[in-house]
Amino acid sequence: MIERGDTSLDEYSYYSVDDEPEEKEQPMAWVILSGSDAVLPKALRWCGWATQSHDATRRARLAIDATAVDLLWVGASFGSMECRPQSFSATGPNLTVRKQKQAEKDACEADSLIGLVSQAEAGQCASILENPDDSYLWLIQSAQDLARNQGFSMQNMTHVALRMPVESGTSCVILAASGKCSSTSRRCVATSTPVMKGARCQGRSAMVIGSLGRVFRRKLCAWTVFRRWAIKLGLCPPADESWLHTWLPIIVHSATSCPPVARAHHTQVVYVGPGNVSMQRSPSVWANPWMAGRDDSRERCGFRFNAYLRINCLHQLSELSAKTLWCDCSTPATCYGFHIVSACYLKLMNDLPEEAADPSVPVLAPLQIVTRRLNAGKRKRVVAFLEKATPSVSSGEIPCLRSHLKWPQDAFSTAIRSLFRVPETMKLKMPIVEDLLSCFPFTAFGDWLDDNELQNEIWWQPRSLSRIEMRAARASLGFQERAYNMAGSLPQLLPFVLSAEEHFQQALKLSRGKTPLEHRPPLEEDLRFAASIMVANQNHLKHLRRAAILTITTLSKRLEPLPDQLRTLQPPSVASVSSDMHLALVAALIMVMQWKDARLCFEFCFGFKVVGNIPNCGVYAPTDVPPLDEKKILQGSWEHALRLRKRVKPGEHDELLTKATLKDVAKGFADSPVTWEQFLNVRKPGTFRLIKRFPVTQSTGKVRPCDDGDRGEHTALTADDNKLELCDATQPATHIKTVQNAACEQNVVLTLGVHDLETGGEDWPDAYRYTPFRPEQRLMAVVIFWHAEWQSPALCIYRGLLFGLSGAVIAFNRFSKFVQHMGRRLLFILLSMYFDDASLQDWASCRKSAQSCLSQLVSLLGRPWAPARRQETASAGYFLGLTHDLRLATEGVVSFWPRQTLLLKLNTMMVDAWLANFFPPGLAAKMFGMWSFLETGLFGHLGRAGLTHLRRRQHKDLPPYEFNDGLAKLCQMLSALLSIKPKRTIRIKWTDRNRFLAASDAAADERSAPTGGFLLIFHPGPRLAAVPDLTAELANCLDPGVQKIAQWELMQVVIALITYPEWFRNRAGFWFIDNINGLAALVKGRSGIPDLDHLAMVTRCLLFSLNCTMYWEYVQSDANWSDAISRLGRNDPWHKKHGFAFAPLCVPLEVFQMDLHTM
């Protein structure tokens, strides 16, 4: 079983494998001509295998090293597949000339693939040859030679079928060899089907050749992978394996309790869930000890859990045999319980007795060498089935290594034609680039992944964070936003249903470690890579970047003829917007860096879709939004256009809107505006949809044009399957944390003056406009505005995307994300993008090389930065409204504060309202929005208290809208904050901080006076017990009303901080409280109850003055070890037993009557 807080878990911190105890090397699978999302590659990765995708098209030769590769999956992608029946011959007389040539080329490719399978077999490597629609059977001799040389017959295979759902709208059939898989090495034949989309693919199958039963890492074989993948999908074992039905546990999901139907299979139920705070259900001993977000991504936490189960819990797994596993997690599709069932299955297989080889399985004849000359168009090629896996120089075979021709010329040419869908009749002049694509800097990131044993393809892709992972990432930067049962809160650190003594002992152990506010945030691999290169090569980093940008520049120049050829395919409206985009360079970087958004270059060439169904691009998490009926996009568009035309009237900013539109026309982003009558002379009613242009005032006071996609119904008519993920204003601190982590890994001590860091920023001009509309979608968003000169409505058809369309957000950010990751992987820059804003950090000694090289890269891509908006690298800079200071970054401190222009704007608004004694709801809403953002740059949640008065004025107060006492106090508080400047300080290094542990409680009822107490433990330091004197005068400081139990609970915290300031100063620790309302006020920093709101502000002020970091945690009343002292006081025996020194306290009333500035 899994012990909570077990220190032995640390050794699995970097596991991403599914290994055996004595052998910690991942089994490797090569995936040829098959996407990484096919069924078997998915199954292999889920079971801990490493997968590598390789291209093996014609003239791109591969040689497989069977000593390093355990399994070979060969896909089949033939252009002539749809024109062949099973009995088709490549020389059939009924084919056209084009299809005849295609068939001859396919014959050459298929023969090469069969030769690759033969190489794998010679090295005792299992092979899977995908055979869609009997692709290989129609080849002249291919199937016959394959059957003769490999020793099996298609007619004699026996199967057991499992049909399983894989994705929405897709299915998969896996056919595994019947009978038990013996532990001895034997040959078995199976068939499998990759993901099938649509009915036309129902005939797809695969020929699995070779020793799938061969012992891989102690019987972890491909046959086992099939079954474990089926178990992962929640399927029962095959019907003929009744022993598995009897002993293998099943996993069921329910939020409340295990359903009775599930218990009918196995009567005994074992809870394996992560715990449920609202149901006060503690985590199971079988729950995954790694938390998604806090420790790593969800998928990678699963990898660690998989390895831990099989290495440390192998013997305990037998306890789960023939039982029902119940889990109540919120993600049943990716439940960690499947890993437990899968590990149980593997243990059952390992416990099988050794069996002799089945005599019914044929023994394969030794591999023969078969040489054949094939015609492929004008080319002739000799293909040999080799006995050895060693590359043959005479046959021209090249080993597939990242450092040696990852992208051969022929593969690059084929990929370019495929990415841009170039017609077969069009000839492209392809420059020679294979030497550049296979050298530095394009191989640096892959080599780093290999060195860190991160060989799975998932490490190449951007990391998508779930909501809980985002919360954990924010918490790691010092902000606790939720607790207990609040939406999105982190899991409880300690389980429920503990006694007071048990909770105290576990809390005592917990308090000696870091709080969740000090954990490392989840970091993307290429950000870690950039930081690692920066730390390891500080002295010559600028020379590395110059060499990298020189290679990229050389590649760009060689590819210059290609964009002009590709633009002949572009629609004119798209070409006018993306005329400067280097399409070929974008495509080359997508290929060489294995960027999953391969359609990006195609859509820059032919336009982006922003209305209707927008598929997932591959670099953002899917939203699983239901698809729309795109035929309904124009339904009612004419009636909507008439209504919208009536709403377009003269306004204050008509001249600004007109000038902005004419500026876009002059730059080629839009057609010339026309009147309503002129537009209807060209376009028929019901063939277009209007979108209104209106002015929007930003927080800085700047007015800019925007397009209303909500009232234009464009938002409702867009189903975007991409979940947008953006960084926030504190991202520079995450970059600095990454550098600190890399320095610790490399045993480098960052010192002031030697390792100083600087920050800079960049911005794109006209960001959305340079992203082209798909031509047929231009009429889906025709801009209508009031023309200042014509004094009538004007209509304008745009070519570049509009600021206000929901679909345009993802379309633009796809390129922004691409540039972000290319800057990290190719130029080793700590770079993050927020829409069109870029923030980068670099060594001060590099003399601005990061900013210079990044500017050259985006210029080569065709999207240069705006020189006027550049922030030159310095020790301080601003990003998204907050300034950040890196002068103490080497000491582990990064400070934030709102930009001065925003503070002046807010101060002006307050002064004007105060002098006019007029505070309308619109101003309250505006101030609430501004301050909610600005308070993220303040210590803790210090600026949140008092915002309830703004909400009340916005939604509840009635005219006249004069200043009241609440708004007056709020303005005084904001003014005090602006003068005190409590900057938000994010600590990068926490190892030098002392720790503490605290718990408090209060009791009050109508019959007796309120009582309260708290217990404090300091590491190092004393154990203190205190009972404050809650006098009637203190109660008079609170608003009159019912019992104030939550207020008395918060007073315990305030009194402790006031009484023992020196013990709390510069410490970090945990405080346990059993009142939910009080806990919410402490965590959020504000409350809708005035007393709690003020006490929360006082607490935050004290924490700021003491530089104290506190993590709040809920404890059940029965488990609260401070409950007895709050009721019994000095007579409590529990605190005496545990060595707490008692002290009665008397608190001055003036402390609770001070304003913020005095405090």
Asked if residues 616 and 721 have their Cβ atoms less than 8 Å apart, the reply is yes
Parallel, antiparallel, or unpaired: how do β-strands 371-376 and 690-697 relate? unpaired
pTM (predicted TM-score): 0.71
Residue that finishes a domain, picked among 326, 350, 374: 350
pLDDT at 142 over 50: no
* Distance (Å, whole) CA 811 – CA 67: 44
Task: Report if residue 191 sits inside a domain.
Answer: yes
Q: In terms of domains, do 930 and 1032 share one?
A: no
pLDDT score, position 24? 38
Asked if residues 174 and 224 have their Cβ atoms less than 8 Å apart, the reply is no
pLDDT, one tens digit per residue, over 325-335 is 888 887 776 78
Q: In terms of domains, do 35 and 147 share one?
A: yes
pLDDT score, position 131? 54
Give the H or E element holding residue 1146. Answer: none
* Residue predicted with more confidence, 343 or 1068: 1068
At CA 594, angle to CA 78 and CA 124, rounded to 5?
A: 60
CATH number at residue 707: 3.10.10
Quick one: pLDDT band at residue 1043, thresholds 50, 70, 90?
Answer: low
Among 408, 806, 711, 446, CA closest to 593: 446
Quick one: pLDDT band at residue 510, thresholds 50, 70, 90?
Answer: very high
pLDDT at 551 over 70: yes
- Tokens standing for residue 428: 């492209």
* Distance (Å, whole) CA 420 – CA 97: 24
pLDDT score, position 890? 87
pLDDT, one tens digit per residue, over 67-80 is 678 777 776 554 44
Residue 125, φ and ψ in degrees, nearest 5: -110, 130
* Distance (Å, whole) CA 1112 – CA 1069: 9
Strands (E), 507-619: 612-614
Quick one: pLDDT band at residue 364, thresholds 50, 70, 90?
Answer: very low
Domain hosting residue 915, numbered range = 899-981
Alpha-carbon torsion (101, 107, 108, 109), positive or negative: positive
* Residue predicted with more confidence, 432 or 192: 432
* Distance (Å, whole) CA 473 – CA 891: 21
Query: Taking residues 775-804, what's their average pLDDT?
Result: 94
pLDDT at 493 over 60: yes
Q: In terms of domains, do 1041 and 1105 share one?
A: yes
Asked if residues 176 and 201 have their Cβ atoms less than 8 Å apart, the reply is no
Q: In terms of domains, do 157 and 291 share one?
A: no
Query: Taking residues 163-184, what's their average pLDDT?
Result: 28
**What average pLDDT is seen over the chain?**
76
Residue that finishes a domain, picked among 316, 335, 350: 350
Task: Report if residue 538 sits inside a domain.
Answer: no
Asked if residues 937 and 986 have their Cβ atoms less than 8 Å apart, the reply is no
At which residue do the structure tokens 């102690």 appear? 218
In sequence order, the 6+-apart residues with CB closer than 8 A to the CB of 896 are: 729, 730, 733, 882, 883, 884, 885, 936, 937, 983, 984, 985, 986
Name the domain count of the chain.
Answer: 5
pLDDT at 42 over 90: no
Asked if residues 735 and 830 have their Cβ atoms less than 8 Å apart, the reply is yes
Query: Taking residues 915-942, what's their average pLDDT?
Result: 85
pLDDT at 473 over 90: no
Distance of CA 275 to the CA centre of its chain: 24
Task: Report if residue 460 sits inside a domain.
Answer: no
Q: In terms of domains, do 972 and 1035 share one?
A: no
DSSP 8-state class, residue 961: -
pLDDT score, position 244? 59
pLDDT score, position 733? 92
DSSP 607-639: -B--SEEE---SSSB---PPPP-GGGTTTTHHH
CA distances from 79 to 86, 99, 102, 256 (A): 16, 9, 7, 52
Q: In terms of domains, do 289 and 188 share one?
A: no
Query: Taking residues 1083-1109, what's their average pLDDT?
Result: 87
Quick one: pLDDT band at residue 133, thresholds 50, 70, 90?
Answer: very low
Task: Report if residue 53 sits inside a domain.
Answer: yes
Which residue type occupies 994?
Answer: N
Least confidently predicted of 397-401, 894-898, 995-999, 1123-1127: 397-401
Q: Which H, E and C letters describe 218-264, residue by residue? A: CCCCHHHHHHHHHHHCCCCCCCCCHHHHHHCCEEEECCCCCCHHHHC
Quick one: pLDDT band at residue 684, thresholds 50, 70, 90?
Answer: very high
* Distance (Å, whole) CA 232 – CA 333: 9
Least confidently predicted of 290-299, 396-405, 830-839, 1068-1077: 396-405
* Long-range contacts formed by 899-903: CB under 8 A, 24+ apart: 901/700, 902/699, 902/700, 902/930, 902/934, 903/934, 903/978
191 burial type by CB count under 10 A (0-12 exposed, 13-18 middle, 19+ buried): buried
* Distance (Å, whole) CA 155 – CA 507: 66
Residue 492, φ and ψ in degrees, nearest 5: -60, 140
Task: Report if residue 502 sits inside a domain.
Answer: no
- Helices marked H in 777-895 — which ranges? 806-827, 849-861
In sequence order, the 6+-apart residues with CB closer than 8 A to the CB of 203 are: 132, 133, 134
Task: Report if residue 320 sits inside a domain.
Answer: yes
CA distances from 896 to 177, 824, 871, 987, 1108 (A): 62, 24, 17, 11, 17
Q: In terms of domains, do 184 and 331 share one?
A: no
pLDDT score, position 149? 42
Give the H or E element holding residue 1032. Answer: helix 1032-1036
Asked if residues 847 and 738 have their Cβ atoms less than 8 Å apart, the reply is no
Q: In terms of domains, do 144 and 124 share one?
A: yes
Task: Report if residue 490 sits inside a domain.
Answer: no
- Tokens standing for residue 522: 């989840």
What percentage of the chain reaches a pLDDT higher than 70?
72
Among 38, 129, 33, CA closest to 79: 33
Give the H or E element holding residue 307. Answer: helix 298-312
Q: In terms of domains, do 120 and 266 share one?
A: no
pLDDT score, position 458? 75
pLDDT at 853 over 90: yes
Task: Report if residue 575 sits inside a domain.
Answer: no
Quick one: pLDDT band at residue 445, thresholds 50, 70, 90?
Answer: very high
- Tokens standing for residue 301: 């936490």
Q: In terms of domains, do 706 and 801 share one?
A: yes
Highest mean pLDDT among 254-258, 695-699, 804-808, 975-979: 804-808
pLDDT score, position 259? 64
Q: In terms of domains, do 168 and 40 share one?
A: yes
Quick one: pLDDT band at residue 381, thresholds 50, 70, 90?
Answer: very low
* Distance (Å, whole) CA 656 – CA 653: 5
Beta bridge partners, 612, equal 718
- Tokens standing for residue 1141: 């020194």
Asked if residues 896 and 729 have their Cβ atoms less than 8 Å apart, the reply is yes
* Distance (Å, whole) CA 809 – CA 767: 11
SS3 1051: helix
Query: Taking residues 90-100, what's their average pLDDT?
Result: 58
* Distance (Å, whole) CA 694 – CA 485: 41
* Residue predicted with more confidence, 355 or 1040: 1040
Quick one: pLDDT band at residue 495, thresholds 50, 70, 90?
Answer: confident
pLDDT at 137 over 50: no
* Distance (Å, whole) CA 34 – CA 129: 10
pLDDT at 157 over 70: no
Highest mean pLDDT among 197-201, 618-622, 771-775: 771-775
3-state helix, strand, coil in the chain (%, to 5): 40, 20, 40
pLDDT, one tens digit per residue, over 1128-1141 is 888 999 999 999 99
In sequence order, the 6+-apart residues with CB closer than 8 A to the CB of 360 are: none
Q: In terms of domains, do 205 and 266 share one?
A: no
Residue that finishes a domain, picked among 981, 1008, 1043: 981
pLDDT score, position 181? 30
